[in-house]
Amino acid sequence: MKVTRRTATLGGLSLFASTAAATPTLAELGSFLGIREGIEDFWLATDAYIYGYPLVTMDMTRRVMTNVAAPEGTRAPMGQFVKARSYPDASFRDVTAPNADTLYTAAWVDLDKEPWILGIPDMKDRYFLFPMLDGWTTVFQVPGKRTTGTKAQTYAITGPGWKGTLPAGVKEYKSATNIVWILGRIYCTGTPEDYKAVHALQDQCTLVPLSAYGKPYTPPAGSVDAAQDMKTAVRDQVNKMSAVEYFTRLCQLMKDNPPVAADAPALKKFEKIGIVPGKDFDASKLNADFARRIPEVSQDRIMLQFKINPAVKNDNGFAFTTKTGIYGTDYLMRALITAIGLGANRPQDAVYPTSQKDGEGHAYDGAYKYVMRFPKGQLPPVSGFWSLTMYDADYFFVANPLNRYSISPRQSLKTNPDGSTELYIQNESPGKDKESNWLPAPKGKFILMLRLYWPNEKNPSIINGSWKIPPVKKV
């Protein structure tokens, strides 16, 4: 690995964090980072960066995904559905760690002026969920098969300051922010027949402002910002922002997307560096000498959570947490999930074990072949579905001859004579007779993610630890 200032910083922070006896004072940390004066303010600024990372990332995602005049592909104007008609492919860059198991039916709404009414049709017992994320990435409601059943249902999504009367039969879901991402997912096997059935369900989903409910409604054309970068990945756009740009955007966003009451202690501290909810950022309070280091060190602190956060568990090389969707004041966990899996569900709906190393602790490399073996009766225990997804080192899909980005029972997996099931994870085909169980890998580094939708809450279960993920072994 090429050692850069950044990798050295991350390695040093990891060493400090993982050795109790070596826990540094702020002065020692300042010396390590090359900051001689103002280390207290610098560390406070990285805390503020981590705190605001979800809101800034959500806003940037919204800007990119809604910057079109009419729905096209994976993008649609505010208040209109994106209806994914097929699974994303390797060119998809809007969201990290995309899903290749469901068809998204998603929309962004702005609740500043009035509520929006969401109508979900009768799903005919098909697995689905429509989680609603506020601007801070909290999943504040999640209608779906697990929670509300599969019959037709109608909801009013209201903003933090809205008070009023709703039509009969409409249930209110209140958001803490005016930005809301409705990230609907409908399970689909991917066959032409099932695509057609799910498309029909997508077309029956409705989304209208309250003032237009029960009336003929034609969505207006979306406004297009020609200056918005539509090619660079959202995460890269956020990570490249200077500290002043970042905090200026954060303060602007907090005017319409207020923090929750539990954030008050942290926000009181942030006043020292010019961050006050409801007000513009005061850049004069931020030390210009170390401002350029704030994004870099903050991002390193976020990714370090894989190694040191006690809420991140590890089963045979798969790291995962059951602290997704609702974060409270665990700002580091919230930022980590934003960075690697924006849009993550509550654990009762999905758990996402992620693996960067095989069962022996070695980083995955497409130059080798790997096998993941599930003993008889030990396939992932779920009430929804499961899949194993392949990503490159940046959490995006890997192009391959089969256009297969995940593997699951819908590939009609073959079992061995002893009842076990083996998944072949490698760059080249394991042979025609084994291709049903093949998850194609790139030639270089890669990452695996095991998706468990609606995991069992009683034994066996990954939530309570009674089911363990088998290791991925190098052949």
> pLDDT tens digits for 262-312?
999 999 999 999 999 999 999 999 988 889 899 999 999 999 987 888 899
Residues 212 and 115 sit within 8 Å (Cβ to Cβ) = no
6, 355, 358 from 363: Cα distances, Å = 19, 9, 6
> Is the per-residue pLDDT at 19 higher than 50?
no
Residues 138 and 326 sit within 8 Å (Cβ to Cβ) = yes
pLDDT of residue 29: 66
pLDDT of residue 30: 65
> Is the per-residue pLDDT at 23 higher than 70?
no
Tokens of 345: 């569900």
Residues 156 and 172 sit within 8 Å (Cβ to Cβ) = yes
Name the least confident of 99-103, 335-339, 435-439.
Answer: 99-103
Q: How confident is the model at residue 424 (pLDDT cuts 50, 70, 90)?
A: very high
Between the two ends of the chain, the Cα-to-Cα distance in Å is 24
> Is the per-residue pLDDT at 89 higher than 50?
yes
Q: Which residues pair with 107 in a beta bridge?
A: 182
Name the least confident of 7-21, 29-43, 48-62.
Answer: 7-21
d(CA 355, CA 102): 21
CATH 1.10.3360 assigned to domain 5-59+234-302? The reply is yes
Q: Residues 6 or more apart from 209 whose CB is under 8 A from it?
A: 79, 113, 114, 115, 116, 117, 217
* Average predicted confidence (pLDDT) for the chain: 92
- Give me the mean pLDDT over the 43-50 stretch: 96
Which residue do the tokens 């997307």 mark? 257
CATH assignment of 65-212? 2.60.40.1610
Query: How many Cα neighbours within 13 Å face the side chain of 270?
Result: 23
> Is the per-residue pLDDT at 16 higher than 50?
no
> Is the per-residue pLDDT at 206 higher than 90?
yes
pLDDT of residue 306: 78
Q: Residues 6 or more apart from 355 whose CB is under 8 A from it?
A: 317, 318, 319, 364, 447, 448, 449, 450, 472
- DSSP code per residue over 5-50: HHHHHHHHHHHHHH-GGGPPPHHHHHHHHT--S-HHHHHHHHHHHH
Q: Where are the alpha helices (DSSP H) in 293-388?
A: 294-303, 305-308, 331-341
Share of the chain above pLDDT 70, in %: 92
Q: Where are the alpha helices (DSSP H) in 240-345?
A: 243-256, 264-270, 288-291, 294-303, 305-308, 331-341
Q: Please report how the helices 294-303 and 331-341 are oriented relative to each other, as an axis angle in degrees rounded to 10.
A: 90
d(CA 33, CA 9): 7
Helices (H) and strands (E) in the chain, counts: 11, 21
> pLDDT tens digits for 320-342?
999 999 999 999 999 999 998 89
CA 23 to chain centre: 31
d(CA 130, CA 203): 15
Out of 2.60.120.600, 2.40.50.140, 3.40.50.11030, 2.30.22.10, which CATH number does the structure's domain 314-474 have? 2.60.120.600
> Is the per-residue pLDDT at 439 higher than 60?
yes
Q: What is the domain partition of the chain in residue ranges?
A: 5-59+234-302, 65-212, 314-474
d(CA 389, CA 237): 25
> pLDDT tens digits for 30-43?
666 667 667 889 99
